[in-house]
Amino acid sequence: MKKSKIGTTAPMAGLPQGSETLGNIGPAPSGLNLANHFLIAMPSMEDPIFGGAVVYVCEHNEKGVLGVVINKPTDMTMEVLFDRIDLKVAEGLRSHVVDEPIMFGGPVQDDRGFVLHSPSGRYSSSLNVTSEVAFTTSIDVLEAVASGAGPKRMLVSIGYAGWSPGQLEEELSRNGWLTVGADAHVLFDLPIEERYNAAIKLLGIDPMMLATEAGHA
């Protein structure tokens, strides 16, 4: 798996086109909108980055698609991230917070951090995808977490997954991905190693049957 390139300053940054565009772009030309969906890589996908991946789609519009891989941990923890961006951790901060692994969210801007979390507080560059999931690109959300006042549920990634206009639609037409409406429980609560099979089960498919069919394709 591709390792994070995060530097000692670990900047939290917005999107390439500017964080002010979050949620303010027109619909995709195809009319398809997969925001708040999981993209599930087909077992036959051999891409070293996306093979075996589940991607949570945050935005799908005329600029393309932005998502975060939710099941590929890096070797970095939240504690290491806090240290690298010089954030003092509050006394008694829950051990499962500081020990939580950082995800490899995708190959785009993989030296920068992005946060999926339950909506709470007001952050300078943030998009509420649904009533259960927000996407924040500014460091203030991590400052809140370090102080003990952050979101109750969250997933922090280094990098994100991006597709140019029409690119994901083309990959879908070649059966590279399965799509299903996202479940916040799978996103935030399940152990990382269970998320792929759980996402497939949302389709009503037995993951073992899918793997068998792909093997005989």
**Within a 13 Å sphere around the CA of 101, how many CA atoms are in the beta-carbon half?**
14
Are the beta carbons of 117 and 134 closer than 8 angstroms?
A: yes
Are the beta carbons of 116 and 103 closer than 8 angstroms?
A: no
Spatial separation of the C-alpha atoms in residues 1 and 48, rounded to whole Å: 7
What's the pLDDT tens digit per position in 107-155? 999 889 999 999 988 899 999 999 999 999 999 999 999 998 889 999 9
What class has domain 19-113+156-215? Answer: alpha beta
Q: What is the pLDDT of residue 211?
A: 64
Confidence (pTM): 0.86
Q: What is the pLDDT of residue 4?
A: 32
**How many C-beta atoms surround the C-beta of residue 93 within 10 A?**
17
Which residues of the chain carry a pLDDT beneath 70?
1-25, 211-217
Q: What is the pLDDT of residue 120?
A: 85
Spatial separation of the C-alpha atoms in residues 180 and 97, rounded to whole Å: 28
Q: What is the pLDDT of residue 216?
A: 44
| End-to-end CA, the chain | 26
The enclosing H or E element of 126 equals strand 126-128
